[in-house]
Structure 1
């Protein structure tokens, strides 16, 4: 069996998620003798968004309450459930299936993100959800499907396929040029605050442009004033096993001997055993100051 993608952390996250879902099921049983529990359920909300559908990680339906749970394994971005459009779309899709069968009044949406130690829940009434769909969702979806409406630049751009050549994103980030990139002492406090709020997006956009141009050049595209060259590389062994044997035969020790890092040691011992054996020898130094 191929376990090359296995990690104990992922197994722990999956087990904790399953335990959390089972807790929700027990709560649902208090309100309904036979709640419906669906895993990886296709949710069609095309009545509100043309051709719209998604997959609900977990859907629990009981009299009075519809619960949607979305598992997110990533740790890069903390995702909140409050007014989260994806979760609200999934809830609409679930209502399309069950609203006529169960007397649903409340919709509860949870994003379970274990690697950020986050369980974010947002609850609203079914009527409020339908009102959002009518007033906000459907009009915006119709504009987008027709190719109209206004482009909006924001942190979501990092997930867009057009992030590297989107003109709206370029214009948004190039607005910082109005400061002429003056040195900070020549900027007002308000200027610095505005730049701080947008500089991460500027750096991300610039890196996306560089990566896009590089991959295009590798594929054969020529950029005027630029050429593709071989970057710096470091020497490496062609066969570490043979190297170790040769160095040992020469009378030397080819291995480094040092204590494993915390992550590697946790993988070796297991999370529970690690805490039992080494919990008293772990510290977390104060982090480097950063502006958020």
Structure 2
């Protein structure tokens, strides 16, 4: 079965960060269709390539070079295929190889393993990208293809990986004397994209009891809503959720009580930024939801859908250019010779050859200052470039 066709449980491991903390959200989401984005489809394609490479490395007899080559050639025909996927999945494979080789004994390896954690979550199951077991250690490794720094995934306290670990433990506990749990995220499109964490088995099992309690509430649609940037980000009900709406209205419009100084402090500035993190996103989701309703012919009082600004396109550009030239318009006026950008050239040439041939001809200019949360791994800066230089309009 392909990655895209796999079934998803009501309380899935991938959405555990939501239903564990906002238990009613799982049942609420059932009322809305499950859609997917182009980025998610791209990630699915990269996962399929990664799976084939790992399978070829560990199970060469069953999945040899011929099958690997045929599989890759098939993936290359997909619309979202990118040659850079080859390098990124190599990094994932290299990490798995390093973990396996570091184990005291040759590990048992399970690839794209369906794990059952229904002992903790009703009808709970998921697919772990890679499971290694050796020397009393169970190691779960997950491949992430996201490239946004805001989408960096950490292994520490990651509920998705922890549920996979619980499922893998239940599957293999009669075969292996597991005492230690290790979990890793490999996110090769980000610098420093490897995150690792571990804990004794007893700690994982104690967390499993907490999961049982939360899952029982989530299955019934009970418990308290807990709206916030993290829990609401991918929730299908985020545009119409009353709890989220009321929380964001409170954050945006509820004034502080008492007489206060006319200027806020830096501490208060940080507090307001944190409190209001989801307000703008909520308004955007609300607009998307209202637009969909209007387009469906339903009334949203005070609002309507209109046609946005359109753009003109050629019905036949070649014929249009020919007529222009016939009427004395020079061809040099009609075409613009323009070099590809550095990133486009790197993509065409390939990362390795680009670095070999012209790597010494490239320098990285400092980026514009960006405000991020303190947990971001990038180092803090102070006036490395002036605000005037950072935000001036491009003149080229």
TM-score exceeds 0.5: yes
| Between 112-121 and 2-11, the greater mean CA deviation after superposition | 2-11
Moved more, 117-126 or 169-178: 169-178
Are residue 122 (structure 1) and residue 197 (structure 2) matched?
yes
Gap runs ≥5 in structure 2? 1-73, 373-396
Residue 243 of structure 1: how far off its partner (Å): 4.4
Q: 1:38 aligns with which of 93, 105, 110?
A: 110
The residue that corresponds to 2:213 in the other structure is 139
Greater RCO structure (CA 8 Å; 6+ sep): 2
Equivalent residue pairs, number: 284
Please show how residues 137-216 of structure 1 align to structure 2 within 5 Å.
137-154=211-228, 155-176=230-251, 177-179=253-255, 186-189=262-265, 190-216=267-293
Shift in alpha-carbon separation, 1:22–1:4, aligned structure 2, 3 A: same
**Which residue of structure 2 aligns with residue 282 of structure 1?**
362
Distance across 1 between alignment mates of 2:279 and 2:190: 25
Counterpart contact for 2:291–2:304, Cα < 8 Å: no
Query: How many Å apart are 1:240 and its aligned residue?
Result: 4.0
1:244–1:88 CA distance, 2 compared to 1 (3 A): farther
CA–CA separation in structure 2 for the residues paired with 1:140 and 1:94: 20
* Correspondence for 2:96: 21
- Structure 1 residues without counterparts, runs of 5 or longer: none
- Give the alignment's TM-score, normalised by structure 2: 0.68
Q: Matched residue of 2:370: which SS?
A: coil
Distance in 1 (CA, whole Å) between partners of 2:324 and 2:188 is 45
Corresponding residue number in structure 2 for 1:83: 157
Residue deviations 1:111-154 (CA, integer Å, cap 9, x gap): 111112210011001111001111x2111111211222111122
Give, in angstroms, the shift of residue 247 of structure 1: 5.0
1:122 partner SS: strand
- Identify the range of structure 1 (81-90 vs 212-221) with the bigger mean alpha-carbon deviation: 212-221
- Tell me, yes or no, if the aligned pair for 2:137 and 2:179 is still in contact at 8 Å: yes
More deviation, 65-74/146-155? 146-155
Q: Which residue does the alignment assign to 2:371?
A: 291
Q: 1:198 to 1:21 in 2, by over 3 A?
A: same
Dislocated runs of 4+, deviation >6 Å: none
**Secondary structure class of the residue paired with 1:90:** helix
Which residue of 305, 330, 340 maps to 1:251?
330
The alpha carbon displacement at 1:286 in A equals 1.7
In the other structure, the counterpart of 2:184 is: 110
The whole-number CA distance in structure 1 between the counterparts of 2:246 and 2:289 is: 17
Counterparts of 1:163 and 1:19, CA distance in 2: 38
Contact 2:293 2:300 in 1 (8 A): no
- Report the Cα offset of residue 103 of structure 1: 1.0
3-state SS, counterpart of residue 363 of structure 2 = coil
> Helix, strand or coil: the match of 2:278?
helix
Separation in 2 of the partners of 1:127 and 1:289?
A: 44
Worse-superposed segment, 159-168 or 228-237: 228-237
Structure 1 residue 32, shift from structure 2 partner: 2.3
| 1:58-77 equivalence runs, <5 A | 58-76=130-148, 77=151
